[in-house]
C-alpha cells in the first residue's frame, strides 16, 4: 500500500502550499491568500477585466456563480458544503470553520470546535503543526 505524503504534481514553488484534507484523505495544492488557482498555477486575486467566468479557480466542491454586473463570477461551495469556494469547501458535518493542518485534528474545546495539533506537534492547528 502506497500512501502519498505530498502533493503530486508539485505545488507552485512560491505561491502554492500542499494541504491535507482529512475528509477525503487527499493532499491538494492550494494558492496562498491573495492568490487563486489550483495551487500548481496561481494568479493574483485581482484579475484582468477581460477574464470572464471562474476558470479553474473554484474548489472541486464548488461551482461558478455568474451574476448580472459581475462577469468574472464568484466561486460558491456546493449544497451541504461551506467555505470560501476557492481554497476550501467542507461538508457541513465538519464543525471546524477551516481545514485543519495535516498534523491537526478538529476537536471540541469548551463549547466550540477548533483545529488542534496532534500529539507531538505544536502550532495553531490550521497553518502549522
How many Cβ atoms are within 10 Å of 54's Cβ, its own excluded? Answer: 21
Give the rounded distance of the alpha carbon of 79 from its chain centre.
17
Give just the sign of the alpha carbon dihedral 101, 104, 110, 112. Answer: positive
Contact 122/129 with Cβ under 8 angstroms?
yes
pLDDT in tens, 13-68: 777 888 888 888 888 888 888 778 888 888 777 654 334 577 777 888 888 887 77
Question: Which three three-digit cell numbers place residue 96?
Answer: 471546524
Q: What is the pTM of this model?
A: 0.35
pLDDT digits (tens, 9 = 90+) for 106-125: 888 888 888 999 999 999 99
Amino acid at each position: 500500500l502506497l500512501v502519498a505524503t505530498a502533493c503530486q504534481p508539485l505545488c507552485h514553488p512560491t505561491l502554492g502550499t500542499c494541504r491535507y484534507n482529512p475528509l477525503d484523505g487527499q493532499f491538494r495544492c492550494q494558492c496562498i491568500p491573495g492568490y487563486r488557482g489550483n495551487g500548481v498555477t496561481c494568479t493574483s486575486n485581482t484579475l484582468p477585466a477581460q477574464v470572464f467566468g471562474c476558470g479553474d479557480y473554484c474548489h472541486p466542491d464548488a461551482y461558478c456563480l455568474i451574476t448580472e454586473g459581475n462577469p468574472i463570477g464568484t466561486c460558491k461551495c456546493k449544497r451541504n458544503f461551506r467555505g470560501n469556494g476557492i481554497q476550501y469547501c467542507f461538508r457541513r458535518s465538519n464543525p471546524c470553520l477551516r481545514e485543519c493542518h495535516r498534523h491537526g485534528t478538529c476537536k471540541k474545546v469548551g463549547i466550540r470546535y477548533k483545529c488542534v495539533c496532534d500529539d507531538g506537534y505544536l502550532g495553531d492547528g490550521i497553518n502549522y503543526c
